[in-house]
Chain A
Amino acid sequence: MLKVIENMRKIAAILVVLLLMVSIPSLVLADDAEEDQDEQDFDEQSQEQENETQDLEYNETEKEIEIMNNSLGAEIRLLQLEKSILKNILKGEMAVEVLKGLEFNTTALEAILGEMKILLEEVKTANTSSNDSVMIFVELKQEAINYTKQFREKIRELLDDVKLNEIRERIRELASGELHNYSKMIQNRIRQFNRNQLYRLYGIIGETNNSFINEYFNGNITLGQVKLQMCKMINQMSKENRYGVFSEIKEENIKSKIQAKSAVENIHNTGNGKGNGGHN
């Protein structure tokens, strides 16, 4: 009887050991799985965030290239890109000066600024009347975004949030004669572009007011006033004419949007405009 009880105890002990041996690895596995899940969730979240940012960039680019079906539109976009790159180079140089004063090693940051200067020269020499001007613009803009991102990440490795905010404050009020010249030049080209658009709109309406167009071009009338005047003019038409003009404008706008969308899709499908800021 005693032997039986002892045997039963042994069996119970073995069973307990077995149970422990089975449950501990399964607990470890479960924990690992949870960690993997957390990691996966984090990766998915980052990927999602990156995709959203990229979608926003694509939408913006699409909107920007809508006007690039003629050389004036292409010239405006490339000038605006030049201005944005120049502004970032100047801000970057100011930030580097501040960092040098704080005795930080700025070699990597200066290297990125060097690449941005080369990129700026490329944008300046881009051919606006070329058939590939849209593709050139998308590629160069993407490179500018990538270099800016690289600079931002590098400077974040060097400084804490407080110092970064201090630098942001210092470079916020950036005043540059060169930037001012760009702004003037771009404004002039945009007025030329809008003047052409006004002629087209008058063409749809069926009459022209040259003095009104010149008033806008010379800066005596704002774009807001022009838009308001055109709306008033169309609103005064008969229902049928108003609808006809509206339909024609809408058709033109949709055509430009479709062209821009297909151009961006073509560029991204062929793998262009996604470079990491490297030069060929």
Chain B
Amino acid sequence: MNKKITPILLLLIVFVSVTLAYVYFNQPATDEQKYDSSAKDVSDEDLSDEIDDIFLDEDDEIEIGEMV
């Protein structure tokens, strides 16, 4: 009897631990975690581009073409 129960118990333990491990590693991110991960996406270049767009270059000109 014991010889039969032991492998079944072992299998059960393995099955439960695999299920728990799967659930742990695949749980959906909370709002805070999502915020954190998107915050990482702001690169220096993106930030610099947006700041560039705010200001106007002092030598900016309106192009209407050349006369000759």
Question: What A residues does B68 contact at CB under 8 A?
Answer: 91, 95, 152, 155, 164, 167-168, 171
Complex interface residues of chain B between 30 and 68 (CB less than 8 A to chain A): 35-36, 38-42, 44, 46-48, 50-58, 60-68
Assembled-state Cα–Cα distance A192/B53 (Å) = 16
Interface residues of A in 175-234 (CB under 8 A from B): 187, 190-191, 193-194, 197, 200-201, 223, 226-227, 230-231, 234
Give the docked Cα–Cα distance between A242 and B50 (Å).
13
CB distance from B13 to the nearest CB of A (A): 40
Contact with B along A79-97 (1 / 0, CB 8 A): 0110111001001100100
Which residue in chain A gives the minimum CB-CB distance to B54? A197
Interface check A173, CB cutoff 8 A: no
CB 8 Å contact bits of A251-262 with B (1 = contact, 0 = none): 011000000000
Indicate with 1 or 0, residue by residue over A237-265, a CB within 8 angstroms of chain B CB atoms. Answer: 00110110010011011000000000000
* Residue among A190, A191, A200 facing the most chain B CB atoms (10 A cut-off): A190
Residues in chain A near residue B36, CB distance under 8 A:
239-240
Identify 14 residue pairs between A and B in the complex whose beta-carbon atoms are under 8 Å apart, listed by A's number. Answer: A83-B62, A85-B64, A88-B64, A91-B68, A151-B67, A152-B66, A152-B68, A171-B68, A190-B58, A193-B56, A200-B54, A201-B51, A227-B48, A249-B51
| Among all A-B residue pairs, the 8 with the closest Cβ atoms | A243-B39, A239-B39, A148-B65, A80-B62, A144-B64, A253-B53, A91-B67, A249-B50
Q: Give chain B's interface residues, CB within 8 Å of chain A.
A: 35-36, 38-42, 44, 46-48, 50-58, 60-68
Closest to B40 in A: A239
**Chain B residues closer than 8 Å to A76, beta-carbon distance:** 56
